[in-house]
Amino acid sequence: MTGDAVTPGLVPLPDRFFDDYVPGAVGVFGAEPVSEAEILDFAARFDPQGIHTDASAAAGGPFNGLIASGWHTMALMMRILVRYYLNEAASLASPGVDELRWLKPVRPGDVLSLRCTVVQARASRSKPDRGLVHTAIEILDQNQETVATLTMMNLLRRRPDPAPAVSGR
């Protein structure tokens, strides 16, 4: 598993707070492999359709083989987002996702990464300790082909004020 592959415009994750998500900043993160066993397990539990649960049946289906559930793809996206993009100390919650699109099937053996572009960062007027960041996310496979896109919204803490320096006498 790789960490931040490219992070122009973003400070290292442990130091990243709302103030560091500057519109236009782009980062590419993660290298999450997708196995057949994980596809089958996720689908059996959460999306039990033949194209996700039965490799033999899927071979004759509309995608000519087994594919991951779109929801499995979103769960993998979230894993990468939490590991490499959102500082746990700063992340408060997400009020939602806009414009989710699945563009290309994810198959066993694919390796997923994210390209995250900060679209908007707006400080809260009512709660000055936080702000709302809108991020355009492209989920990429190992060939850098886009398999899904979405716009994520995240409530993030602002960087805490440093403790005042104590002057010596």
pLDDT tens, position by position, 46-102: 999 999 999 999 999 999 999 999 999 999 999 999 999 999 999 999 999 999 999
Q: Please tell me what DSSP assigns to residue 15.
A: G
- Return d(Cα 58, Cα 87) in angstroms, integer: 39
pTM exceeds 0.85: yes
Which long-range contacts does 127-130 make (Cβ < 8 Å, 24+ apart)?
128/158, 129/157, 129/158, 130/18, 130/92, 130/155, 130/156, 130/157, 130/158
Listed residue (41, 21, 48) closest to 130, CA to CA: 21
